[in-house]
């Protein structure tokens, strides 16, 4: 009887050893799924800051679970949705380094490049986007070409941008928009511009005239009145033979005068940038490919069957 009880105890131990880990594994999977689902809910509610925390918690607690890979990608998307480009880029870079064989690798390269473009890291952006062509991604190859074209638009490299737009195949949903955008760039030379040398020369001849030329009317009035006041004060001091005060007023006036010229030249550059940006934004709206890579793009983020 004593021997029989030992046998029963031994069998019970074997059963417990075989069942408990399996149950623990099931609980672990369920807990990881619950953790990930909570992070997803926060993401869909646009509570991106808290979503990032929960995605990171998921990775920390369940590093070997398949959902940790998706969580790492979603951290990058969360930063991206908040337009925190300087944080989204390294997040996508970390995903690429950790999961080089992931089926989502092209997606990570695309959004990494899109973020780099917005940080004006143009060469890095082009490098990231070119990787997508090397991967042969069907889903992201055309989007990468369009994003690369916009990199060259940002750099005022119109011809290169047009060449890239024209590579979009006729069967693509972006074909018509890309053709219209490419043709629209033919008119970029007709965008109104203000000459920086002319603005500087006018400001030198008459304070405020340079700002008037660049359509900065309030600045023109301020520059004219301020310089006029110091010139008038200097004249009065010298006329009253108060040379010390006259010299001081003249020194101050030289500073305002030089600043007026510098500001007028800067105003012409700002005017040119504004007109160019307005023209490009108008083309984006007309072709329905505005803000490529942003949340209102015509393609969707997809994660675990959910489209958002």
pLDDT class of 248 with cuts at 50, 70, 90? confident
Kindly write down the DSSP assignment for every residue of 245-259, as one continuous string: HHHHHHHHHHHHHHH
* pLDDT (tens digit per residue) in 63-77: 888 899 999 999 999
Residues 6+ apart with CB under 8 A from 11: none
pLDDT class of 160 with cuts at 50, 70, 90? very high
What pLDDT score was predicted for residue 11?
54
What pLDDT score was predicted for residue 295?
39
What pLDDT score was predicted for residue 5?
55
Please determine, for residue 294, whether its predicted confidence score (pLDDT) is greater than 70. no
Percentage, residues of the chain above pLDDT 90: 56
Please determine, for residue 23, whether its predicted confidence score (pLDDT) is greater than 50. no
pLDDT class of 303 with cuts at 50, 70, 90? very low
* pLDDT (tens digit per residue) in 61-111: 888 888 999 999 999 999 999 999 999 999 999 999 999 999 999 999 999
Please determine, for residue 156, whether its predicted confidence score (pLDDT) is greater than 50. yes
In degrees, to the nearest 5, what angle opens at C-alpha 225 toward C-alphas 220 and 228?
A: 120
What pLDDT score was predicted for residue 3?
54
Q: Measured between alpha carbons, how far is residue 267 from residues 255, 264, 293 in Å?
A: 18, 5, 31
The dihedral over CA atoms of 130, 158, 120, 296, expressed in degrees to the nearest 10, equals -80
Distance, first Cα to last Cα, the chain: 66
d(CA 117, CA 123): 9
- Regarding pTM above 0.75, the answer is no
pLDDT class of 247 with cuts at 50, 70, 90? confident
| Average per-residue pLDDT for the chain | 84
d(CA 301, CA 308): 6
Please determine, for residue 288, whether its predicted confidence score (pLDDT) is greater than 80. no
Domain ranges across the chain:
196-287
Please determine, for residue 124, whether its predicted confidence score (pLDDT) is greater than 90. yes
Please determine, for residue 193, whether its predicted confidence score (pLDDT) is greater than 80. yes
């Amino acid at each position: 009887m004593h021997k029989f009880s030992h046998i029963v105890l031994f069998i019970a131990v074997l059963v417990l050893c075989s069942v408990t880990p399996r149950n623990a594994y099931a609980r672990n999977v369920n807990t990881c799924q619950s953790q990930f689902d909570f992070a997803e809910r926060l993401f869909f509610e646009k509570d991106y800051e808290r979503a990032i925390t929960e995605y990171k918690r998921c990775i920390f607690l369940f590093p070997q679970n398949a959902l940790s890979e998706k969580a790492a990608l979603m951290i990058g998307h969360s930063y991206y949705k908040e337009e925190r480009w300087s944080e989204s880029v390294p997040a996508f870079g970390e995903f690429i380094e950790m999961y080089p064989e992931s089926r989502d690798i092209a997606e990570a390269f695309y959004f990494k490049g899109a973020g780099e473009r917005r940080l004006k890291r143009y060469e890095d952006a082009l490098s990231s986007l070119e990787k997508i062509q090397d991967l042969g991604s069907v889903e992201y190859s055309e989007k990468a070409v369009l994003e690369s074209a916009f990199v060259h638009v940002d750099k005022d490299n119109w011809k290169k941008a047009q060449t890239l737009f024209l590579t979009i195949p006729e069967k693509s949903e972006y074909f018509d928009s890309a053709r219209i955008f490419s043709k629209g760039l033919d008119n970029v030379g007709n965008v109104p511009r203000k000459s920086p040398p002319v603005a500087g020369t006018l400001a030198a001849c008459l304070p405020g005239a340079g700002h008037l030329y660049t359509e900065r009317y309030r600045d023109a009035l301020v520059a004219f009145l301020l310089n006029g006041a110091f010139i008038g004060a200097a004249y009065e001091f010298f006329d009253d033979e108060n040379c010390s005060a006259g010299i001081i007023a003249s020194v101050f006036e030289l500073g305002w005068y030089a600043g007026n010229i510098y500001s007028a030249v800067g105003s012409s550059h700002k005017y040119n940038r504004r007109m160019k940006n307005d023209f490009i934004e108008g083309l984006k709206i007309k072709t329905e490919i505005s803000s490529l890579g942003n949340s209102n793009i015509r393609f969707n983020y997809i994660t675990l069957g959910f489209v958002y």
